[in-house]
Structure 1
């Protein structure tokens, strides 16, 4: 340890900025990776907790395989001796006039009708069905739980009321009836939910919601000793019972691809940071080479020298990892406080830094801590091997570093070919493109292996160009160095090459996605103004617009055309969760279609168009004929897939159907949305005012331009953290190339002194450095650009379709790519010239004397 301290302390003492850069690289990499992990974990924890508070924890949830349950089902289930407690549930969404949500739209409140006495009974039996939904009354009078027209509110709902409020008025849209206002007495308090929520007695709820005799589900507690799965399997076919859905697991499945991609992007900073650690240790090795040679002559073995360098890398990694873990917690806490836990995607609310500590922390901290240490140790391997391989006597005579070793060019080509093969493999674990990420890694390593050949090739091509400025000793020296020291060029450019390639890939992917989204919005939003009901049905979908309102809007001279639309749901299999179905006017010439069925059409089937998620997850390929049930009426219909359309609005299954076909199959003539085209010369604001005068507060309006702007704003917010991760990784890579070029220049001081002694002027040596730096920097920039474009192809055509079921067109943002490549080239050349000026500051005679 004393030997290590004497050999390393001068560098830590005399060049603290370089040491701090290496520590900072590890710190940022670990902090970003650990912080993103904590933030995602907090979002899942919060969502699962909120879902459990509302849904409770019954043993089983009973639903009908088709349509709603009935009061008769409830009576039947209560007679079964295995059932200890049963709570009937009916739900609805109500409009809260006079209040607006965070998005500026009319405020809604979720209403749950249940049996409060059943909740009390289950709690007294020691197995509470939904403790956070059980109303808490000031007087503790159970009879008050059954008060007529009484609603028990959570804290979020009460925060919207005056402190002395006794009643509140809500507007609901019963199925098949006109919207109406209901006045409710404010009762007790409930603890569930972070969004406005109210609980009513089941009888009142059924009457107010216009659903007499209907139930959405029944929560069941079984008697002790009953196996829930076995009992559920023996229920009548008309029922389906299953354990309560783990909402946290569901959100985890839905967002796995997003979280994996984001986590890998965070690790990108750690990956490029390891190259900066390598550059700093290489610089320190070059500066201390005579000392290492001296201790070698004095008896320190090559194995011991190797270990000492690894210990130095381990120390850098340990300091950076410890700081990174602490900074990661701080970054996650700050993001939760300022932005919420959704990272632009999950839509969670009510986030706080306390959520960070409601999840396992020890194992993730160990994992990311070990990753930080591993990155630093791996980065120290190359300098350690260099010190191990030196011949001490030769180094003391000034013969410098041994020749570097590198993968041959054929190995680089083989790795890139392997990357191309891996890119063609399917995803695993659902939607996780593991093979695609392995492909990107192979492409990066293969590209690094080809850098020496690229430098030599560029030098050879340069020597063939005509012109007197390219002849003479400078070009000869540059050519010989490119041949003998091309491996050093790969090492010095490794960090910036990897960072540049990943930055180019992410820039192209984000730019392609945004361009494709913009074009898709133009196709998906053809009308000038969109109208829908502010009311919601029990399933959360918009309630139907009043037919009289649609007729009035059609007659308005401000509009040249009106296109109705019906949003509903469809079951692809009995008992399956419903998927989105949109019935609209279909002009296949203007739809965002990516596949069309050109074969025979089934005479007994109605045509539908599906999104990519339906094709990939549910096997709804073009031409397939299948049976499905309309969720509203339960009627089974025969359908055929006529095409696949791009859907950037969701990752779940969705279908389109022609509106006349839907009305003929379902008998439903209502519309939930209306698209309006302005007549020539009509102003948008005046037309919107006319809609509001006719529809009042029951309707919501949005202009196509507003929807486009909002969609792009959500897109930009979702990728904000991606851009920050990209910028950090690129900055770390640029620091790495600066440190690497400094190390190379310092190791060549004696070479420069000898050339000065032989007659080359300082100006000529600077030209030589400029030529060499331009060759290596140009090779690095070109290689980074080429690798980045290859990686972007994998991201655009493999990772995104496999992860998100979103296909897009490749689009190259030339201006941004030029700026990235120019920045990398300028950093490489500038760093080399600055380091060369320092190295050339040594007097030539003194350098030759040192060499002697």
Structure 2
């Protein structure tokens, strides 16, 4: 056993010494696949943990939360008092949470009103620290307390003033027409570094901003012997329809669902990169087996069993996978840190905007990705190991590695034709299936089958295309190259397969992103009809501005007011946006990009129009009625139609201002769409400027909003572009290694040609042409597979994962340019194999063939 162990390690060291470049490239390929997957995992975990910490910092650690299901609603104090009398309730902390501006700054902050005695038991991070040395009121007589991040911002706004962020400074808190001159009394020492918070006594907040007889939430801590599930079920049956009980599991599920589909998509792309790396390991190990076939045959004659020969090749593959995976873990950590700094914890997806969480690696996930890298390497080495085991010893001793003959290849043409057709039909069938566990798992399986179908079709296309070309009257070097590719030896198929996978992935993502971008561009045309827009970032617009806009001297021909709120349909899903619009319920298509039939609502029933994500997530359709949690109660509304929305992934509901006010809602506009008088655009902007400065409002024209929206769109796909580049790089590495392997496999053939008069230039051109032909096969099949996968991504994965629908838009110019660049890179990669072909020792090779 010890002798076998020494032999095994000697063979591994020999492989690393003789095939240093190919082995290092294989390690790098495994490292890239592991690094991308591990980086995405680290960023996801860090972002979710950071978001959970942010929620806990503000919400505390209650057993349950009593809240309204719509953001405009509230929890009556009478309801909280009834719950507080329950013996199972230890304490209930009432909270009022609202958004205010400080001295009309452009960015609103969160103002939280608390009862300090109950908050100490439930929300200790919100307890204020009073500054005893400052002549300032305390929490109970009008003092407010700011988080460290907010204090830093206040100091930046008044850099020349010593009292900019000191206790005792007077702040004016503004919400719409309501104002509260408050005094800064201290800080919130336990608040997170990036939280912009103000805390005040709940009675003072209630007096100035309301509601008078209600609060935003009641955060409940149960007695130690109480069962949460039983208590929740009991009170859920007694609460009014407009209220709900939310527990910690609901919050965790909701946070996870925010970016779940985005995370899964990125992980699938990372696994494809790892799969492409397995192809490179396959090429390296197959080359190694081919080069040492005589050595393995000799060892077999001397007593090394077929099983031991198989295990030896697998062990060599593992020797590539372990250091490659370890390198990938380190590289993945570095990428995770870099991506969070550049793109944030959501990788540009827009789920946790502004978050750059700390990256903290844990042992268990690192071991999982280490195992994935090793499995990929073992998978790549498995078929070469099998071939090594099955090699006839006598033939290997005489002629070296045995390849499949042209006659065997020709006889296999019919089965090879059936297999791609069967796989394509299976992929088409899977693409019709609905999502599983709210994820497009069948769509991912269909993508995998398309890739396998493309790989399986490579030998057939090679035979048909290059077999015909090789029969034409061509110079000898070109004819030899064509005949070699036409016979489709194993190494040519491997090289084409790696390129098929990498180019198909790249082409499909280009198609999907292009389709999405075209759709977003067209959608922006519809949703941005006005030249100017004004918004207040979710706080009500001042009434004096609205009154001034209604005056005859205002330089606008039309003003459209909008209000935004949110609803909780399912406690474990993200909130649904509620958009109150000045819209004609008889003609909603005039302001909404409607995608299907429009149904006239009954005269006595409020009408709503739901977005495509809303229809997908909650399985709704026009003509149905929906019990909508609105204004503190459940209201039955009629779904008049579905409209396209690329701005709110988790659903949106549009209701007309008329219906909203008839239901008792207080319409407080937060956004305006403005149409200046013809020729007075500059005057209109100047007219709005003093109002924007006075109240901290944002004014932007439609072109600026379009540029910002498309910039955010491009940023959200930055990681996707990195994955595409990695896959293409691995595919080209695979081509270079595989072509070099084919040179070694055909050493006798090339040496014979050299003996017959082929000079080095002719051999070099023949090998480079062979590389170009293999790359052409790979790119053509990859392009076809890419179009198919792009269609699946656009029409299956996007609707099922992100609930967005769009038309397929294929950017042929970009794809053709990419194909040309790939072919040029493949020709350059084949130069390495061409140089090896010209360095073959002709006499030595021919002598060994005797």
TM-score (norm 2): 0.89
Which residue pairs with 2:161 in the alignment? none
> Is 2:151 the partner of 1:158?
yes
> Is 2:385 the partner of 1:377?
no
Partners of 1:844 and 1:654 lie apart in 2 by 73
Find the residue that maps to 1:623 and give its secondary structure: coil
What is the Cα deviation at residue 237 of structure 1?
A: 3.5
Partners of 1:395 and 1:796 lie apart in 2 by 50
Contact 2:515 2:809 (8 Å CA) reproduced: yes
Cα deviation code 1:776-796 (max 9, x no counterpart): 222111001011111111101
Which residue pairs with 2:711 in the alignment? 713
Which residue pairs with 1:124 in the alignment? none
Which residue pairs with 1:496 in the alignment? 499
Cα deviation code 1:8-47 (max 9, x no counterpart): 4334224422221111111111111111101110000011
Contact 2:492 2:742 (8 Å CA) reproduced: no
**Residue 462 of structure 2: which of 451, 455, 468 is its match?**
455
**Range with greater deviation from structure 2 (618-627 or 547-556):** 547-556
Which residue pairs with 2:173 in the alignment? 171
> Is 2:55 the partner of 1:33?
no
Contact 1:313 1:376 (8 Å CA) reproduced: yes
> Is 2:546 the partner of 1:521?
no
Partners of 2:665 and 2:363 lie apart in 1 by 58
**Residue 148 of structure 1: which of 141, 151, 154 is its match?**
141
Which residue pairs with 1:423 in the alignment? 431
**Range with greater deviation from structure 2 (403-412 or 513-522):** 403-412
Q: Closer, same or farther in 2 for the Cα pair 1:237/1:707, shift >3 Å?
A: same
Contact 1:336 1:352 (8 Å CA) reproduced: yes
What is the Cα deviation at residue 258 of structure 1?
A: 0.5
Find the residue that maps to 2:21 and give its secondary structure: helix
Which residue pairs with 2:833 in the alignment? 835
Q: Closer, same or farther in 2 for the Cα pair 1:294/1:234, shift >3 Å?
A: closer
Cα deviation code 1:473-494 (max 9, x no counterpart): 6677556544543443211222
Find the residue that maps to 2:173 and give its secondary structure: strand
Which residue pairs with 2:367 in the alignment? 366
Contact 1:773 1:832 (8 Å CA) reproduced: yes
Which residue pairs with 1:123 in the alignment? none
**Residue 70 of structure 1: which of 58, 69, 76 is its match?**
76
Partners of 2:725 and 2:570 lie apart in 1 by 47
What is the Cα deviation at residue 666 of structure 1?
A: 4.1
Cα deviation code 1:657-701 (max 9, x no counterpart): 3444444444645533211123333344x4322112245432321
**Residue 813 of structure 2: which of 812, 815, 818 is its match?**
815
What is the Cα deviation at residue 48 of structure 1?
A: 0.4
Unaligned runs of 5+ in 1: 100-105, 121-127, 535-540
Q: Closer, same or farther in 2 for the Cα pair 1:628/1:98, shift >3 Å?
A: closer
Partners of 2:594 and 2:489 lie apart in 1 by 47
> Is 2:536 the partner of 1:533?
yes
Which residue pairs with 2:160 in the alignment? none
Find the residue that maps to 1:701 and give its secondary structure: strand
Q: Output aligned runs, 1:772-811, within 5 Å.
A: 772-811=770-809
What is the Cα deviation at residue 725 of structure 1?
A: 1.3
Find the residue that maps to 1:595 and give its secondary structure: coil
Which residue pairs with 2:688 in the alignment? 691
Contact 1:386 1:402 (8 Å CA) reproduced: no
Which residue pairs with 2:561 in the alignment? 564
Partners of 1:197 and 1:330 lie apart in 2 by 32
Partners of 1:667 and 1:133 lie apart in 2 by 32
> Is 2:182 the partner of 1:186?
no
Q: Closer, same or farther in 2 for the Cα pair 1:574/1:42, shift >3 Å?
A: closer
Cα deviation code 1:429-464 (max 9, x no counterpart): 22x111111111111112111100010111244367
Q: Closer, same or farther in 2 for the Cα pair 1:571/1:471, shift >3 Å?
A: closer
Which residue pairs with 2:158 in the alignment? none
> Is 2:50 the partner of 1:46?
yes
Partners of 1:523 and 1:154 lie apart in 2 by 41
> Is 2:725 the partner of 1:727?
yes
Partners of 1:350 and 1:800 lie apart in 2 by 25
Find the residue that maps to 1:234 and give its secondary structure: helix
Q: Output aligned runs, 1:368-447, within 5 Å.
A: 368-398=369-399, 400-403=401-404, 408-430=416-438, 432-447=439-454
What is the Cα deviation at residue 589 of structure 1?
A: 5.0
Q: Closer, same or farther in 2 for the Cα pair 1:506/1:492, shift >3 Å?
A: same
Partners of 1:72 and 1:19 lie apart in 2 by 73
Find the residue that maps to 2:65 and give its secondary structure: strand
Contact 2:293 2:400 (8 Å CA) reproduced: no
TM-score (norm 1): 0.89
Contact 2:539 2:670 (8 Å CA) reproduced: yes
Find the residue that maps to 1:159 and give its secondary structure: helix
> Is 2:87 the partner of 1:81?
yes
Q: Closer, same or farther in 2 for the Cα pair 1:61/1:393, shift >3 Å?
A: same
What is the Cα deviation at residue 845 of structure 1?
A: 4.6
Partners of 2:542 and 2:506 lie apart in 1 by 48
Q: Closer, same or farther in 2 for the Cα pair 1:763/1:65, shift >3 Å?
A: closer
Which residue pairs with 2:747 in the alignment? 749
Which residue pairs with 1:336 in the alignment? 340
Which residue pairs with 1:102 in the alignment? none
Which residue pairs with 2:637 in the alignment? 639
What is the Cα deviation at residue 832 of structure 1?
A: 3.8
Q: Say how many residue pairs are matched.
A: 817
Contact 1:153 1:190 (8 Å CA) reproduced: no
Q: Closer, same or farther in 2 for the Cα pair 1:395/1:826, shift >3 Å?
A: farther
Partners of 1:248 and 1:573 lie apart in 2 by 13
Q: Closer, same or farther in 2 for the Cα pair 1:64/1:339, shift >3 Å?
A: closer
